[in-house]
Amino acid sequence: MNPGRAVVEGLTRVQRAPALLAGMWLTTVLVALPFALTLNGMIASHLGASLAAEAAADGVNFDWWNEFTAQATGIGQTFVPPIIGFAAPLGNLSELVDAEGLPVVVAPAVALHMAISAFLMGGVLDRLARNRATGSHAFFAASGVFFFRFLRLAIAAVLVYGFLFTTLHVWLFDTLYVSLTRDLAVERTAFVYRLLGYTLFATLLLAVNLVFDYAKIRAVVEDRRSMLGALTAAVRFVVRNRGATIGLYLMNAGAFAAVLFLYYVLAPSVGQGAGAWLVLLVGQLYIVLRVALRLQFAGSQIALFQSRLAHAAYTATPTPLWPESPAAESIGRVQRAELSVQS
C-alpha cells in the first residue's frame, strides 16, 4: 500500500466510525466546558447590566476588553483577542516552534485533556485497527488495557521531547544562532539561518513523532506489553519504510494545512464585529475537522502498517476469496476434510 492509498483507507475507517468522531469531539468540549463556564461567569460579573454589556453582545468592545484584561486573574487572563479566529491556531504554532511554555492558568486543562486522550487512545487505535464496530465494552476494555502501557511510553516521550525543547532548541536559537549572527550586517542572511534552524528542529520533531506514533500502533496491533520493545520495533519499521511513512506524514500534514486555510477563510476576526454564536459555530466546526484529521492520521498510519507488517489476525485486511459467498467457507471445509481422510 502506498501513502495515497493509506490516506484514502484512513478516511474510510473514520467514515465507518462516526461514534468515535462524535465521542472524541464531545470529550474535547467537556474538558473545556468547566473553564468556559468559569470565564463566562467572570465576564458576566464584570459587565453586569451596563451599556458595555450591550455593546459586547453586538460585537467587539475593545475599550471594555482592555479594561477586563487589565483586572482579570486566573483563567480570565487568557481572554485576549488572539483567542478568536485564525489567530488562535497561528499562535499555537508559533508557541510550538519557539518552544514557549504554556500559561500556568491553562496547564490544568491541557494536562486533563492529555490524560483523557492517553486513556482513550488504546480504544481508538484498536477500533481503527479492527475496522469494524466493537461496542463500548470492547472499546473501554482496550482503553484500560493500554492506558498503563501508554503511560510508560509517555515517560519516554517526555524525556525525548524535553531534550528537544529545553536543550536542543536552546542551543540552536540561543547559542548557535546568536553566534552565527553576532557580526552579520545583512538581515536576509540572519533570516536564512533562523529558517534553517526551524527546518532542522521541525525535521527532528517529525522523526520523533513518527517513531512514537508507530510505537503506539505496534503496541496495539501486536498487543505488545514492553513499550521499549514497541519503540525499538517502531524505529525499525520507520527506517525500513522511511519513504512511505514520511510521505504519508507529509500528506496528512498537508491535509491539516488545508483545514487551517479553510479556517483562515471562514473564521471571523475580532474586527468584523461577528456575533458570539457565529464565532462559536465556526470554532466548533474547526475542532470537529481537527478531531477527524487526528483520527484519519492514526487510521492511515495503521492501514500502512497493516499492509506491510501486520501480525495480529484481527487487524490484517482479509484476502478476498472466490467465490465471495458463504459457499467459499463450505468448500474450504470439504477440501480440508478430504485432505485429512487422504492423509
Q: If 0-12 CB within 10 Å is exposed, 13-18 middle and 19+ buried, where does residue 17 land?
A: buried
Dihedral sign, Cα of residue 130, residue 135, residue 140, residue 145: negative
CB atoms inside a 10 Å sphere around CB 6 = 26
Which amino acid appears at position 121 of this protein?
M
Average of per-residue pLDDT values in the chain: 76
Res. 301 pLDDT band, cuts 50 70 90: very high
Q: Give the pLDDT of residue 221.
A: 87
pLDDT over 80 at 212, yes or no = yes
Q: Please state the domain count of the chain.
A: 1
235/208 Cα distance (integer angstroms): 9
Sign, CA dihedral 281-285-286-287, equals positive
Least confident piece of the model among 96-110, 113-127, 234-248, 314-328: 314-328
The angle, 0 to 180 degrees and rounded to 10, between the axes of the packed helices 107-130 and 18-47 is: 160
Q: What is the mean pLDDT of residues 118-132?
A: 87
Domain ranges, residue 129: 3-342
Report the SS3 class of residue 195: helix
Q: Are 124 and 219 in contact (CB under 8 A)?
A: no
- Total-model pTM: 0.71
Contact 266, 282 (CB under 8 A): yes
- Average the pLDDT over each of 182-191, 216-225, 235-244 and give the range with the smallest value: 182-191
Instruction: State mean pLDDT over 110-137.
Output: 83
Whose cell is 487526528? That residue is 294
pLDDT band at residue 318 under the 50/70/90 scheme: very low
